[in-house]
Amino acid sequence: MGVAFQLWNGNLESATEAVAEYRPVAAWLFAPRNGQTETDEWARALRGASSGIKIWLQVGTVQEAVEAARSDTPPDVLVIQGAEAGGHGRAEDGVGVLTLLPEVADRLAGMGENNIPLVAAGGIIDGRGVVAALGVGAAGAAMGTRFLAAKEARISKGYQDEVVRAGDGAVNTVRTHLYNHLRGTFGWPEQWSPRTIVNKSWEEHKSGVSFDELKKRHDEALKRGSSAWGPDGRTATYAGAGIGLVKTVKGAGEIVEEVRGDALVIIQSLQGLVS
């Protein structure tokens, strides 16, 4: 098992103590407030707390990847997050993972730093996405939004229902800090903002309704349970642009097996094209 830390609001002392006690196999780091310097500090501390721990670092630009690879404490794995991803990603300078990852791979190879595995993240929902990621040089794929529709996901039913219902992610999702702020979360560095399924809060924000009024309506909606989500809902529904490919709720293990199986079928069929 692994553990993830958001560096911008994380506590290194607490994180180090937890890693020393529980000995996770990997620590996934993301969103340093002070760039690679802060990431290096965390990597050194966590490796010192648990020998053998693998450091996974999530980045969203070529420059971030290059700085990480050149570091005195390079990560064991780089997670290359494309603009399609849900949750927090690059606010203004993100690009799709199928463009970003091969450019990162080429730059690192040119530096002689092609020994760091690259894991693709962002918009990968099924076996087709996994094969596409492998095709542009990924060592593996990370999936988030698909597992929001897992039986084990600890989210509200309204949230999960909306992930399954929504589609056309290019139109029906947006990157914005609005929902962070409505939930009372402030302080995220501006270069990262979350992708969320749009609803009434976003529509009314665009039409000029004041934040104070939006906050009041948001908090009232939360009291009504599952109806706080959905097109007429008001609360955050963080999800990636691939929502239109999420159709069913299944067990996490079943999702993994299905994605692997579908990817294998595609790879085998492609082999016939070059035999």
- Asked if 134 and 191 sit in the same domain, the reply is no
Provide mean pLDDT across the span 26-46.
Answer: 96
Q: How far apart are the first and last CA of the chain?
A: 39
Asked if residue 116 belongs to a domain, the reply is yes
Give the tens place of pLDDT for each residue, 168-194: 999 999 999 999 999 999 999 989 999
Give the tens place of pLDDT for each residue, 216-240: 999 999 999 999 999 999 999 999 9
Asked if residue 254 belongs to a domain, the reply is no
Provide mean pLDDT across the span 84-89.
Answer: 93
pTM: 0.94
| pLDDT for the residue 232 | 95
Give the tens place of pLDDT for each residue, 5-14: 999 999 999 9
- Asked if 106 and 201 sit in the same domain, the reply is no
| pLDDT for the residue 113 | 79
Query: What is the CB-side half-sphere exposure of residue 208 using CA atoms within 13 A?
Result: 0
Write out the residue range of the structural domain in which residue 210 sits: 157-245
Alpha helices in the chain (DSSP H): 12-22, 35-49, 62-70, 97-110, 127-135, 145-148, 157-165, 169-172, 178-182, 200-206, 211-222, 252-274
- Asked if 142 and 27 sit in the same domain, the reply is yes
* CATH code of the domain covering residue 71: 3.20.20.70
- Asked if 67 and 91 sit in the same domain, the reply is yes
Coil/strand/helix, residue 250 = strand
Phi, psi (degrees; rounded to nearest 5) at 129: -65, -40
| pLDDT for the residue 92 | 86
User: What is the spatial distance between Cα 269 and Cα 62, in angstroms, rounded to a whole number?
Assistant: 32
The pLDDT mean for the chain works out to 95
User: What is the spatial distance between Cα 94 and Cα 163, in angstroms, rounded to a whole number?
Assistant: 23
Asked if residue 94 belongs to a domain, the reply is yes
